[in-house]
């Protein structure tokens, strides 16, 4: 633990991630706080940390954690960056034991079974619950201690952003927010606070054109305050090469034709039912070929995925049933593949797709939000309709049947990532947004 925050002459940005408390993310990722503070880098905001460091900007993640009772400064093991842990506000600490699901949409979802006469009294509290975890005065004090020059909040469609704007006014700091998939509100109170907050923000980072159009339409934001900046990836870590050795470690034959997918297992959101159906079609179309489907990941729907994969006409499935947080290990898994399947129905920003492209895999991707922007105008991959297993199968078969074309498309995918998603490129864009002409 750091006794005092590090002092630096570099401009400093405080980065506040989405979620009531950090533990909500940790539990979903099956990770301890110690692991998070150690070698974990598998999150978009560590990409921001590394990208801004390349251009002389210090980015400090500031997280609300129920495991601390006073502000705590830690040094992240993998990147060396300072991480600040803040205690939740007093009201949230007192009330949180009574929440069934603080992210619920109604009284019953938040509090569980409640006698009918009491429900109206709990409606105002349900409206406020997502505003409660962030301690604004403690946050303001820590921003001053850190010497911050700007605030960056994950998701403008989230109550923490509204509070960050208020803290920005209190401290005189400009506030920015990034879009990572949140495009809806959970309470009626947000209808009052959000338009004011969005119009007060210095800038919004919105990588997808459809979301940028929505923000301009709903909030009347000047397009000059909406920046299309993608989430960065480290192209030195995510790179092609070493396929033969990686296949030997996984006991995959050198001549097998391999399709890969990785991520959190959510069957409907990630379109894994579509992928299984497409794989069934591929297996039927090429009954004599050695076909392999590599699935890397875990999640609440793992059992449902296993049930889908148990059909008798599904073959060649190789599962790594865990979330792989080590980037080098995950890269070594991805590079065994000849093609990458991305069947998602819903996405905020498809980081997994970018990681696969950086590894030189030619993708066949469903037209979820942001995918067109990732592939680019030169189409560094094959775009297919969502919920269309036949088109997904056909796109993958074209790559599996023509290894030379697959390699060429994989090289194009890699070039796309190098030009639009590298740490240096994104870092320069972020610095210009936060500190123009500085």
At 350-373, the pLDDT tens digits run: 899 999 999 999 999 999 989 999
Residue 256, CA distances (Å) to 7, 52, 195, 264, 357 in order: 54, 41, 54, 25, 20
Span 66-93, pLDDT tens digits: 999 999 999 999 899 999 999 999 999 9
Distance, C-alpha 75 to centroid of its chain = 22
What value does the mean pLDDT take over residues 283-290? Answer: 95
CB atoms within 10 A of CB 379: 13
CA 342/CA 349 separation, integer angstroms: 13
Give tens-digit pLDDT for 373-399: 999 977 789 999 999 999 999 999 999
Q: What is the pTM of this model?
A: 0.91
3 state DSSP class of 26: helix
Determine contact, residues 266/275, Cβ cutoff 8 Å.
no
CA-only gyration radius of the chain, Å: 23
Q: Whole-number mean pLDDT of the chain? A: 94
Q: How confident is the model at residue 312 (pLDDT cuts 50, 70, 90)?
A: confident
Q: What is the mean pLDDT of residues 296-315?
A: 93
All structural domains of the chain, each given as residue ranges with its CATH number in brackets, are 12-109+121-232+427-434 (3.40.50), 243-419 (3.40.50.2000)
* For residues 135-159, average pLDDT: 97
Residue 317 main-chain phi, psi, to 5 deg: -85, 130
Write out the two tokens for 142: 């820590």
Closest CA to 363 of 347, 374, 317, 296: 374
- Banded model confidence at residue 24, pLDDT cuts 50, 70, 90: very high
Chain center to CA of 200: 25
| Residue 403 confidence (pLDDT) above 50 | yes
């Amino acid at each position: 633990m750091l006794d005092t925050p590090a002092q630096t002459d570099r401009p400093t940005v405080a980065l506040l991630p989405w979620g009531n408390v950090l533990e909500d993310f940790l539990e979903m990722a099956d990770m301890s706080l110690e692991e998070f503070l150690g070698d974990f880098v598998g999150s978009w905001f560590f990409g921001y940390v590394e990208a801004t460091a390349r251009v002389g900007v210090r980015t400090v993640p500031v997280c609300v954690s129920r495991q601390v009772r006073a502000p705590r400064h830690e040094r992240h093991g993998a990147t060396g960056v300072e991480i600040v842990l803040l205690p939740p506000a007093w009201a949230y600490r007192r009330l949180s034991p009574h929440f069934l699901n603080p992210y619920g949409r109604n009284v019953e979802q938040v509090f569980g079974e409640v006698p009918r006469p009491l429900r109206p009294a709990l409606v105002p509290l349900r409206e406020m619950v997502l505003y409660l975890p962030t301690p604004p005065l403690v946050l303001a004090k820590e921003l001053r201690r850190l010497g911050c020059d700007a605030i960056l909040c994950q998701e403008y469609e989230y109550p923490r952003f509204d509070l960050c704007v208020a803290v920005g006014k209190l401290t005189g700091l400009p506030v920015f927010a990034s879009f990572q998939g949140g495009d809806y509100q959970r309470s009626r109170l947000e209808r009052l606070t959000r338009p004011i907050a969005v119009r007060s923000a210095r800038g919004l980072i919105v990588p997808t054109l459809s979301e940028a159009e929505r923000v301009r339409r709903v909030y009347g934001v000047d397009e000059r305050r909406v920046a299309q900046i993608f989430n960065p990836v480290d192209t030195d870590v995510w790179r092609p090469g070493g396929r033969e050795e990686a296949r030997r470690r996984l006991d995959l034959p050198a001549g097998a034709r391999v399709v890969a997918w990785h991520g959190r297992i959510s069957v409907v959101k990630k379109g894994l039912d579509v992928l299984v159906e497409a794989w069934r079609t591929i297996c039927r179309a090429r009954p004599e070929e050695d076909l392999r489907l590599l699935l890397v990941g875990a999640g609440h729907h793992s059992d449902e995925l296993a049930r889908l994969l148990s059909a008798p006409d599904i073959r060649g499935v190789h599962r790594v049933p865990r979330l792989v947080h080590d980037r080098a290990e995950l890269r070594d898994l991805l590079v065994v593949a000849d093609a990458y399947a991305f069947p998602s129905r819903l996405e905020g920003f498809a980081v997994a797709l970018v990681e696969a492209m950086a590894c030189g895999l030619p993708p066949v991707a469903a037209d979820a939000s942001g995918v067109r922007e990732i592939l680019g105008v030169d189409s560094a991959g094959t775009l297919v309709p969502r919920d269309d297993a036949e088109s997904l199968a056909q796109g993958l078969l074209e790559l599996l049947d023509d290894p030379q074309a697959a390699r060429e498309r994989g090289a194009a995918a890699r070039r796309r990532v190098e030009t639009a998603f590298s740490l240096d490129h994104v870092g320069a864009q972020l610095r210009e947004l936060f500190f123009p002409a500085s």
